Amino acid sequence: MTQSQISYNHITYALALFSYFTAGLTWIIPIVMNYLKRDEARNTWLYSHFDWQIKTFWYSIFFWVIGFVMVIFATGGLFFGAAVDSNHTMGGSFIVGALGGLIIVATVLWHLYRIIRGWIALSNGRAVP
């Protein structure tokens, strides 16, 4: 383990955080970086940071897609319900859309929490669980 590996992890956490200000456009960069260097950190406490960021990325993608699909289907249901004048379809679609939106918001907050928690642990020279 070298100081350059620690600095490398600081950069990946910073890029992950920076993705919030670029509409997620830089989100993929730190993950590619983590995959490229993860094996070099095997059997060190830094390995947990590479894994932490990779898992955070994939779980975030999974739950964001679920929420997004729910919102898309709900939007279609709202338009369909309005077209056929069905309050039941519109009510159900609103609930599904709201739940999908909550999943997206919760995923974004969880992702931000994981970046901050991991970065703090890295700054303190500790592994993440």
Position 96 scores a pLDDT of 84
Q: CB neighbours (10 Å) of residue 81?
A: 18
- Contact indicator for 52, 38 with CB cutoff of 8 Å: no
129 located within any domain: no
98 located within any domain: yes
Position 73 scores a pLDDT of 84
Mean pLDDT, the chain, whole residue set? 88
pLDDT exceeds cutoff 70 at 12 = yes
- If one counts the domains in the chain, the total is 1
* Full domain range(s) for residue 97: 3-123
38 located within any domain: yes
What is the band of 49 on the pLDDT scale with cuts at 50, 70, 90?
Answer: very high
pLDDT in tens, 55-112: 999 999 999 999 999 998 888 765 655 555 555 556 667 788 899 999 999 999 999 9
128 located within any domain: no
Quote helix, strand, coil % in the chain, to nearest 5: 85, 0, 15
72 located within any domain: yes
